[in-house]
Amino acid sequence: MDKIYDVVIIGGGPAGLAAGLYASRARMSAIIIEKAKWGGQAGTTEELENYPGSVEMPTGPKLMERMRSQAEAFGTELIKGEVTGFDITDKVKIVKIANGQDISTKTIIIASGAQPMLLGIPGELELRGKGVSYCATCDADFFEELEVVVVGGGDAAVEEAIYLTKFADKVSVVHRRNEFRAAKSIVEKALNNDKINVIWDSVVEEIYGDGIVEGVKLKNVKTNEVTDLRTDGVFMFVGTKPISEFAKGVVEMDQKGYIKADEEMRTSAEGIYAAGDVRVKSLRQVITAAADGAIAAVNAEKYIEKNFEH
């Protein structure tokens, strides 16, 4: 491409889409590169009742669809591709894509998000897609009138357990502690659901089955007792890791790979910003991701005005 964009946005989740919207409304030329599903994790989350204004059709896919359409309507370009790295030796930066394409830009907003962590236990990878899932919205309907296990104790785990009760006959939530880390309102809703059974102080040691999930082996962390639980599916919600490998050595990160950025979303590299779940932050929600994206776009505009002649 001979064109030099004002901003290249990496990631098509709520942070990236908000950045695209704000950039395009400011008459900046903006392009979003997404390697997987538009909407990111939010696009696979059924319940989004805590996003302000999402009273009607409060689902992740619907909200992300509206965000995407809005960004496009203002002129944001959207393409599919995987970013492999950058060349930032000149004032005009180069974003490298796996297909060999290079995109020139004045600024970059990294909004690549985070992805589910693996437990790394026997049977997890072997049975992935064969009863092991990381997305209730994607796979819940496969388990209608069956029994499933949810692993985790945070907001995502408890929210998705509640969602799964719309399909499964029984949902067993396995949590290594004796209380949930999720918001109290969500916890109350879960504990009052007759279809949800909580197995406290326990971890999943193995997932087994002959070509399809048939059960899990559970270990009580206090007694070390190992028990067998028959189940038709296992949904993992044990945390996330940042999608930031392509930016290593370019911007400063913490030990886990989350990008360090200040309150203006500025990273350690001039003209490169980070927004959403990929950056170091205390709360990773759709509302904070969207806010990050807006702030990053506004500051990218200020950077261009200061560093490039019009």
Catalytic (active-site) positions: 135, 138-139
How far, CA to CA in Å, does 300 sit from each of 106, 110, 272? 9, 12, 8
Q: What is the DSSP track for 257-272?
A: SPBP--TT-B-SSTTE
Strand partners, 100: none
CA distance 195 to 175: 17
Distance CA 95, CA 84 (A): 8
Task: Give me the amino acid identity at 14.
Answer: P
Angle at 160 between CA 66 and CA 151, to 5 degrees: 140
CA atoms within 13 A on the CB side of 215: 6
Q: Retrieve residue 236's tokens.
A: 């993992």
